[in-house]
C-alpha cells in the first residue's frame, strides 16, 4: 500500500505531501501519523503542503482531523506552505480550517513548534534552584 513518508526530527514529526492525494492515501496518512505520534512520543507535527495544488473539503477535513487527533495525543500540528491560490480557493469554498495552525514555510513552522516546547516554560513554573 502507498504511504506518505513521515520523518522524525527531534521531538517533531515532519510530513511533506508531494503527490496529488487520493482519498485513501489521505486516510492512510491520518492513521500513520496518529500511530507515529504515540510510537515516537512526538510533541508536534509539521505538515508541508507546498506541493499541493488544491485542497478540497475532503483534504481540509483530513487536515482538521489530524490536528484534532494530534491534540488528543498531546501533540501540536502546524500546516505550512499553503499556496496563495489554494488559500483563496479555500476561503471561497467556505473552509476556514478552524483549529489548524499554519505558518508560511517549514522554517517558521518549526520555530512555532519549538517555541511552544521551549525548556523552562513548563506549566509548573521554573524548577527550584
**Which spans of this chain sit near another protein (rule: CB under 8 A)?**
20-24, 53-58, 60-61, 83-86, 88-89, 92-95
| Residues 18, 19, 20, 22, CA torsion sign | negative
| CB burial of residue 53 (10 Å; 0-12, 13-18, 19+) | exposed
Report the C-alpha dihedral over residues 49, 106, 8, 11, rounded to 10 degrees. Answer: -130
- 32 or 56: CB nearest another protein: 56
Smallest distance from another protein to CB 9, Å = 29
Smallest distance from another protein to CB 28, Å = 12
- 36 or 102: CB nearest another protein: 102
Smallest distance from another protein to CB 49, Å = 13
Smallest distance from another protein to CB 97, Å = 11
Distances (CA, A) of 14 to 47, 79, 106, 114: 6, 10, 9, 13
What are 62's three cell numbers? 483530513
- 23 or 74: CB nearest another protein: 23
- 40 or 83: CB nearest another protein: 83
Amino acid at each position: 500500500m502507498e504511504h506518505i513518508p513521515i520523518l522524525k526530527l527531534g521531538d517533531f514529526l515532519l510530513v511533506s505531501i508531494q503527490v496529488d492525494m487520493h482519498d485513501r492515501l489521505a486516510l492512510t496518512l491520518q492513521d500513520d501519523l496518529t500511530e507515529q505520534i504515540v510510537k515516537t512520543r512526538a510533541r508536534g507535527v509539521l505538515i508541508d503542503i507546498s506541493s499541493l495544488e488544491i485542497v478540497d473539503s475532503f483534504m481540509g477535513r483530513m487536515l482538521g482531523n489530524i490536528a484534532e487527533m494530534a491534540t488528543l495525543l498531546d501533540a501540536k500540528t502546524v500546516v505550512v506552505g499553503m499556496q496563495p491560490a489554494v488559500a483563496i480557493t479555500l476561503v471561497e469554498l467556505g473552509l476556514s480550517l478552524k483549529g489548524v495552525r499554519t505558518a508560511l514555510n517549514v522554517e517558521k513552522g518549526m520555530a512555532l513548534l519549538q517555541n511552544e516546547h521551549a525548556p523552562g516554560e513548563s506549566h509548573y513554573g521554573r524548577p527550584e534552584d
